Amino acid sequence: MSRPRVHIVDDDPDIRDGLAWLFDSRGFQSATWDGGQSFLQAARALQGDWGQAVVLLDMRMAPLSGRVTFEQLKALGCPWPVLFLTGHGDVGTAVAAVKQGAWDFLEKPFHDNELVDRVQQALAAANAAQQDDSETRRLRQALVSLSPREREVLDELIRGHYNKNIADHLGITARTVEFHRANIFEKMGVYSAVELAHKLGRLQPMSQPGSRHNGVTASHGLHTL
């Protein structure tokens, strides 16, 4: 696995070189940029193949400020956490950028260990978010793969009904319910109805009550999917 990259965007060559040395010595792979324009050009060339990275972005640069560089990076759909490096007079601007999605900011002068710790925290948070997004996509794809009858059985399972009750409700045999139940568990990657409910629960904030998603009705506590 390649080392995480730290993109250092600063128009001061001494700061760029110092930070590159710091992060290279801590096991990161550093890349330095003398301004927002060259950095954004390199980001566009990736065409979405982002990899693991954090951006250290100086707030005061010309002709493209750190704030504008950040906004354009966001417009590319880039998931890299951005940590602003600011002077005292830029703190208000940095706080506003954090509210718009930047990871954090550090006011100059800062301690090397504190900066490295913030970068590691940002990488950990970005990795967790990426894994969560991947699992959510997998669950949605699994839901789409369910047959209409499997969706009906899924509905009953989430309501806490037993196989016999499900069979009575759906007008099928208990053995058929067990067959569908096993298929549902396999497709969803779970081993119990409780685990299934937990997996589906992570999708609930994504939708509104009364809506339909992936062919499953949003009702009875399950179906905000």
Q: Answer yes or no: do 103 and 199 share one domain.
A: no
> 69-125: per-residue pLDDT in tens?
999 999 999 999 999 998 877 888 888 888 888 999 998 888 999 999 999 999 988
Cα–Cα distance for residue pair 225/218, rounded to 1 Å: 7
Q: Answer yes or no: do 110 and 57 share one domain.
A: yes
Cα three-residue angle 173-176-179, rounded to 5 degrees:
155
Q: Answer yes or no: do 149 and 77 share one domain.
A: no
Residue 168 lies in a domain: yes
Q: Answer yes or no: do 116 and 209 share one domain.
A: no
Q: Answer yes or no: do 185 and 116 share one domain.
A: no
pLDDT at residue 129, as a whole number: 74
Q: Answer yes or no: do 9 and 38 share one domain.
A: yes
Residue 10 lies in a domain: yes
3-class SS of residue 85: strand
Residue 158 lies in a domain: yes
Q: Answer yes or no: do 129 and 174 share one domain.
A: no
Q: Answer yes or no: do 149 and 122 share one domain.
A: no
Q: Answer yes or no: do 16 and 110 share one domain.
A: yes
The domain of 35 spans 5-134
Residue 197 lies in a domain: yes
Q: Answer yes or no: do 17 and 124 share one domain.
A: yes
Q: Answer yes or no: do 128 and 21 share one domain.
A: yes
Which residues share a beta bridge with 55?
A: 7, 82
Cα–Cα distance for residue pair 178/69, rounded to 1 Å: 56
Residue 224 lies in a domain: no
Cα–Cα distance for residue pair 19/112, rounded to 1 Å: 9
Q: Which of 110, 134, 158 is the last residue of a domain?
A: 134
pLDDT at residue 210, as a whole number: 36
Contacts of residue 73, Cβ cutoff 8 Å, sequence gap at least 6: 40, 43, 55, 80, 82
Q: Can you read off the two tokens belonging to residue 125?
A: 């948070």
Residue 179 lies in a domain: yes
Residue 225 lies in a domain: no
Q: Answer yes or no: do 128 and 157 share one domain.
A: no
Q: Which of 134, 162, 192 is the last residue of a domain?
A: 134
Report the CATH number at residue 176.
1.10.10.10
Report the CATH number at residue 106.
3.40.50.2300
Q: What pLDDT tens digit does each residue of the chain (225 aa) get? A: 567 899 999 999 999 999 999 999 999 999 999 999 999 999 999 877 888 899 999 999 989 999 999 999 999 999 999 999 988 778 888 888 888 889 999 988 889 999 999 999 999 888 877 776 777 778 888 888 999 999 999 989 888 888 899 999 999 999 999 999 999 999 988 888 888 887 787 665 443 333 333 434 333 333 323
Q: Can you read off the two tokens belonging to residue 60?
A: 């005061």
Q: Residue 220 to residues 165, 169, 209, 217: CA-CA distances in angstroms?
A: 16, 15, 10, 9
Q: Which of 134, 157, 180 is the last residue of a domain?
A: 134
Count: domains in the chain:
2
CB atoms within 10 A of CB 81: 21
pLDDT at residue 204, as a whole number: 59
